[in-house]
Amino acid sequence: MFTISQEQKHYHTYILTDEEAKSQIEVVPERGGIITRWRINDREILYLDEERYADPTKTVRGGVPILFPICGNLPYDTFNYQGESYKLVQHGFGRRIPWKVRETNNSNCASITITLESDQETLRVYPFEFAVSYTYELRGNSVKISQTYTNNSEVEMPFSAGFHPYFQIGDKQKLEVEIPGTEYTDNLSKATIKFSGEFDYQKDEIDAAFTSITANSTSFSDRDRQKKVTIKYSDLFSTLVFWTVKGKNFICVEPWSAPRNGINTGEQIMIVKPGTSCKADVEMICEQI
C-alpha cells in the first residue's frame, strides 16, 4: 500500500510511503522542491545538514537539491545573452525558491508532481518564460524523478539541469565507486586527471567533473553500511560530478545535463525551441549488499 501524508516540520512536508517495502521519502516544495529524506527500513539513505536546512537564507547541504537553469557556477556569476549580462548564482535559482504542488497519487506508487514557472524575479536573471514539472515516484527501493522542461518564450531557451544528491556513507575507504568515465576535470586545480576507480579521500575536497561519460548509469557500494546505490539517467545528462569534503559523512554523485558554464560556452547545453518541451528521467535505486 502506498500512502501520502503532510506534516508541518521546519517547512510544510509531504511524506510518501511504500508500506510494504518500508520505504519513504520526504519532499518540501517551498524549500526549492527538495527531497530531504529517503529511508528504507528506517535507515537514512541521504545526508542532511539540519542546521543549514532550518535556515531559509542558506542553501541546503543535504537531500537532493534541484539544479536549474544551470549546473555549477559561472565566471563572476554572469550569463551573457544577446549582448546583455544576467546574474545567475551557483546551480541556478531552482533550489532557492518555492515550487507548487500540482498533484499527488498513491495508486500504483506514491508520487507527487511539483512545478516551477517563470515570473518577474526569474526573468530578471534568466530572460526566458518557462514551465518545469517534476514528478517524484517512490516504489520499493527506487525513487524516480520524471522531468518536463517547457519553453514558453518566443525564442530558443538554453538551459542545463541536474541533481545534487547527498548520500550518507560510512568509511570512505570502504567505498567502491563505478563511474563510466576514464578521466575527469578537477574543479580545484583545473587539471585533467585519469580515473581508475579510486579517489584520494585524504584531500580536503574532491570536486571531479566527468564530461565524457559512456553509459546511462553510475553506482557506488558502501561496504561499511552494506548498501549499493545505482543512479540511472536519460540521455539528457551528459556529465557526472563527484563531490565530497574531508571529515563529512557524505558523497555527492551528481547527474548534470551540461558542464560548468555550458550556458555561456554552449558545451552540451540543451536548447528548447519555442512552444516545445523536453523530457528526462533520473532514478535512484538502493540495495542491500
Average pLDDT on 111-137 reads 98
Is 123 a member of any domain? yes
Looking at residue 135, its pLDDT comes to: 98
Mean pLDDT over 159-163 rounds to 98
**DSSP letters for 226-288:** TEEEEEEE-TT--EEEEEEETT-SEEEEEEESS-TTHHHH-TT-EEE-TT-EEEEEEEEEEEE
> Which percentage of the chain shows pLDDT scores above 70?
100
238: confidence class by pLDDT, cuts 50, 70, 90: very high
Residue 195 lies in a domain: no
pLDDT for 4 equals 98
Is 181 inside a domain boundary?
no
Q: Does 37 map to a domain?
A: yes
pLDDT at residue 11 in the model = 97
Residue 203 lies in a domain: no
The answer to whether residue 226 sits within a structural domain is: no
Mean pLDDT of 85-89: 97
Q: What pLDDT digit, counting tens, does each position of 197-219 carry?
A: 999 999 999 999 999 999 999 99
Instruction: For residue 62, tell me if it sits in a domain.
Output: yes
Please give the residue range of the domain that contains residue 147.
2-172+248-288
pLDDT of residue 16: 98
Per-residue pLDDT of 88-101, as tens digits, reads 999 999 999 999 99
- Mean pLDDT score of the chain, rounded to an integer? 97
Please state the rounded mean pLDDT for residues 265-284.
98
Instruction: Report pTM.
Output: 0.97
Residue 202 contacts residue 246 (beta carbons within 8 Å):
yes
pLDDT tens per residue, range 42-68: 999 999 999 999 999 999 999 999 999
Strand partners, 39: 24, 44
- Give the 3-state secondary structure of residue 76: helix
Return the pLDDT at 95. 98
Please report the pLDDT score of residue 234 as a whole number: 98
What's the rounded Cα separation, in Å, for the pair 45 and 229?
A: 9
Instruction: Provide the 8-state DSSP code for 48.
Output: B
Total domain count, the chain: 1
pLDDT at res. 136: 98
Q: What is the pLDDT of residue 184?
A: 98
* CATH code, domain carrying 91: 2.70.98.10
CA distances 39 to 36, 78, 285, Å, are 10, 38, 12
- Would you say residue 72 lies in a domain? yes
